[in-house]
């Protein structure tokens, strides 16, 4: 079986460094918010091209606290692509704000031409999700935010290192959110996340909120969370970050191999905007007979996944928003036709060639 993902290969590549770091932190006697977290925050901010980074416990917390730090809350609206991952929407609703959905375009990211008609007096910001590792049209989003006085929030949980006009995703927003969940491009060995920003104020707010709202030991200025990145995780992420460019490059080459070698007029291949450079968190194709294709691949020993089978507006969790099937037809069509192929670091090029051959020969329209 060609698995959909295999995280062990990456661990084994750098296992000495990882293991030495774990021992170093264990023997230091300091385990939460210490010098590894500080060093990682500095290194990650520098990598993205921002002033500040604040390490957190998860990508969802990054969204929750990033959005909260902008003062977005009850009665406010945030515009977001309807095909986003559910956590993006939870980052909005956990602040009691309302997600306003916009259909994606052919690059799976928010269709910038459909945003303006959704802006109301309540709109406070746009959450730009760089889905599957492919940057959104940042020029258009920056212009809309400037023209309408909106905050730009980036969700870079799938796009660590991806660029728009050679600038990294995460360097455009007022606040940008990242996940370090193990399967992400800059994945750790457990949960983790961060926000990056150029604002000293936002940085300070998030630092207070991640630690129960404590500005000074045992003085609590507001009700915060416990959302701290631990020392072992930060130490391991510092190692991962050193190799991130190399790991991204490997995925870019593998994505090119897929694109070059899949020849089937019934299969839609992924595209990128001209100024965008994807890091291919997922390699997503479309087929009108997606479930049959998935079954066919599985019968030929290839695992594949669906990102995502149920769009947030039809998710049970959001039934209270009262949307129904047909409200976002393009998003719904994508949920029924997208399929992600294996593209993990360390995948054998022979396996990719085998998968491209299978898909090229697939006859089920
Ligand atoms: C993974 C992911 C998140 C959530 O990150 P966690 O660390 O799992 O909380 C948020 N947004 C996007 C786009 C993601 O892919």
Could you report the per-residue pLDDT of 319-342, keeping only the tens digit for each? 999 999 999 999 999 999 999 999
Residues 32-59: pLDDT tens digits?
999 999 999 999 999 999 999 999 999 9
Pairing of strands 163-164, 167-168: antiparallel
- CA dihedral (345, 24, 41, 31) positive or negative: positive
Q: Give the distance from CA 208 to its chain's centroid.
A: 24
Residue 237 phi, psi (nearest 5) = -65, -30
Distance 60 CA to ligand 1 centre (A): 6
Which tokens go with 88?
A: 């993006």
pLDDT at residue 280 in the model: 98
Closest CA to 329 of 125, 86, 111, 79: 111
pLDDT of residue 138: 98
Predicted confidence at residue 215, as pLDDT, reads 87
Q: Whose CA is nearest to atom 12 of ligand 1?
A: 157
Pairing, β 151-155 against β 123-129: parallel
What's the pLDDT at 180? 98
Query: For the segment 231-279, what is each residue's pLDDT rounded down to a tens digit?
Result: 999 999 999 999 999 999 999 999 999 999 999 999 999 999 999 999 9
Give the pocket of ligand 1 (CB within 6 Å): 58-60, 85, 87-88, 129, 155, 157-158, 179, 181, 191, 193
Please choose from 81, 83, 85 the residue to mutate so as to test ligand 1's pocket, defined by most ligand atoms within 8 A of CB. Answer: 85
Ligand 1 atom with least separation from CA of 130:
13
What residue ranges of the chain have pLDDT lower than 50? none
At residue 364, the pLDDT reads 82
- What is the reported pTM? 0.97
């Amino acid at each position: 079986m060609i698995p959909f993902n295999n995280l062990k290969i990456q661990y084994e590549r750098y296992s000495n460094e990882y293991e030495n770091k774990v021992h170093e932190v264990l023997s230091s006697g300091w385990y939460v918010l210490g010098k590894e977290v500080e060093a990682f925050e500095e290194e990650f901010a520098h990598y993205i091209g921002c002033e500040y980074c604040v390490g957190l416990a998860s990508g969802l917390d990054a969204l929750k606290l990033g959005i909260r730090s902008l003062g977005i809350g009850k009665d406010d609206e945030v515009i977001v692509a309807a095909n986003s991952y559910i956590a993006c929407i939870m980052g909005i609703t956990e602040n009691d704000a309302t997600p306003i959905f916009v259909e994606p375009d052919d690059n799976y990211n928010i269709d910038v031409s459909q945003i303006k008609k959704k802006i109301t007096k309540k709109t406070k910001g746009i959450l730009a999700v760089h889905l599957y590792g492919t940057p959104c049209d940042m020029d258009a989003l920056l212009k809309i935010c400037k023209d309408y006085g909106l905050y730009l929030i980036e969700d870079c949980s799938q796009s660590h290192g991806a660029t728009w006009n050679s600038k990294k995703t995460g360097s455009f927003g007022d606040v940008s959110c990242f996940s370090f969940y193990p399967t992400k491009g800059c994945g750790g060995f457990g949960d983790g996340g961060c926000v990056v920003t150029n604002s000293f104020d936002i940085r300070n707010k998030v630092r207070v909120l991640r630690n129960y709202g404590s500005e000074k030991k045992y003085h609590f200025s507001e009700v915060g969370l416990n959302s701290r990145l631990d020392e072992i995780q930060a130490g391991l992420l510092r190692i991962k970050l050193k190799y991130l460019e190399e790991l991204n490059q490997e995925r870019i080459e593998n994505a090119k191999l897929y694109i070059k070698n899949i020849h089937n007029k019934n299969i839609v291949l992924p595209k990128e905007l001209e100024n965008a450079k994807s890091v291919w968190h997922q390699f997503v194709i479309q087929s009108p007979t997606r479930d049959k294709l998935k079954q066919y691949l599985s019968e030929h020993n290839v695992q594949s996944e669906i990102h995502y089978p149920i769009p947030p507006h039809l998710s049970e969790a959001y039934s209270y928003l009262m949307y129904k099937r047909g409200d976002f037809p393009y998003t719904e069509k994508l949920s029924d036709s997208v399929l992600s192929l294996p593209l993990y670091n360390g995948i054998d090029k022979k396996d990719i060639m085998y998968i491209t051959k299978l898909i090229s020969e697939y006859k089920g329209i």
